[in-house]
Amino acid sequence: MTRISTGADSAPLDSTDAQSLPQSLADVSPAREVVLAGEHAGVRLGGRAIWRDMSFEIYSGEFIAILGPNGAGKSTLLKVLLGMLPLSEGSVRVLGEPVKRGNARVGYLPQRRSFESDVCVRGCDVVRLGLDGGRWGIPLPGVRRLWGGDLHAREASARVEEVIDLVGASHYAQRPIGELSGGEQQRLLIAQALVTRPRILLLDEPLESLDLNNQQIVSALIRRVSQEQQVTVLMVAHDVNPILSSLDRVLYLGRNQTALGTPQEVITSETLSLLYDAPIEVLRTRDGRIVVVGQPEEVSHARQLR
């Protein structure tokens, strides 16, 4: 069953219907930890309701794509979870606590242009900033030793090295980040988001502006990290196809309504037509790709096939 919440009908969503979940999730015991939970959450920006009455429960280790037309509030949702935007109604809990800015257990990769080619700072320095870039003062080697801070610094360096190794960026992490390709930069930025060992990773269109080959490398990396480290991934995506095989569920933000469920349930002609309030046709190609037809003025999901 697809769960759809509408703005008009404010009935809370049913608890998760185990049968609707993919096999991997359905097997898991019902005591699975809820890492993100929203209750009738809504956001207004400049007097306009971006989305409202959004209720959801997201579990540890899930890989979820956030889809929807431009302006549906996908990036806004990530910013709310980061504590950078306040809710106008309802509540959101991150790891059982109210949202707070600068939570080390939440990693973030903003929608991004790449670094300018003249940025002369090493990739590993950019990763390191994710760990201690918010701290005031500069560590002085002599002072550090007085209160055993050297150990701390060594641990930090080891962690940076470890995470760079994890994303497979070791052989170019010492080079200025501006000289690296888009895919290489993106891998280092994922390392930066992972360096604090977050439980949740919020990614805003990480595959945008990458070529097909790098899209595959980066999405495989994100899936691997999500599985190996039990990190919950919320990824805003324009095109669902490159990550379709990795996804557990899809959160679809439509006009005044949202739907959360498996791709098979949500990305259907019926559900999308309901979300858009317009006739939408979803086609599935023989190799499993999804093509969405009829979205008014929005970018389709199958930009590759254009």
Partner 1 sequence: MLVSFADEVQLSWDLVADLQQLFAYHFMQNAFLAGTLVALAAGAVGYFMVLRSQSFAGHTLAQAGFPGALGAALLGYSPVLGLIGFGVGAALLIGVLSARESKGQDSAIGIVLAFSLGLGLLFIRLSHANNTTGLYSLLFGSVLGVSDGDLGPIALTTLVTLVTLAVVARPLLFASLDPEVAAAKGVPVRLLALLFLVLLAFAVAEAVKIVGVLLIFALLVTPAAIAQELTARPALSVGVSVLLALVFTWSGLAIGYFTPYPVGFFITSFAFGTYVLVRLTRAAYTRSARRKSAVREGALVL
| CA distances to 41, 60, 135, 151 from 24, in Å | 28, 13, 40, 41
CB 85 within 8 A of CB 76: yes
Rounded least distance, CB 227 to partner 1, Å: 24
Helix axes 182-194, 212-228, angle to 10 degrees: 20
Rounded least distance, CB 201 to partner 1, Å: 12
Cβ neighbours, 10 Å, residue 248: 20
Taking the C-alpha atoms of residue 226 and residue 216, their distance in angstroms, rounded to an integer, is 15
Taking the C-alpha atoms of residue 50 and residue 296, their distance in angstroms, rounded to an integer, is 18
Taking the C-alpha atoms of residue 4 and residue 252, their distance in angstroms, rounded to an integer, is 9
Rounded least distance, CB 112 to partner 1, Å: 7
**CB nearer partner 1, residue 4 or residue 201:** 201
**CB nearer partner 1, residue 97 or residue 118:** 118
**CB nearer partner 1, residue 104 or residue 305:** 104
What are the residues binding partner 1 (CB under 8 A)? Answer: 82, 84, 101-102, 108-110, 112, 115, 118-122, 125-126, 129-130, 132-138, 174-176, 192-193
Rounded least distance, CB 178 to partner 1, Å: 9
**CB nearer partner 1, residue 58 or residue 203:** 203
**CB nearer partner 1, residue 120 or residue 305:** 120
Rounded least distance, CB 256 to partner 1, Å: 28
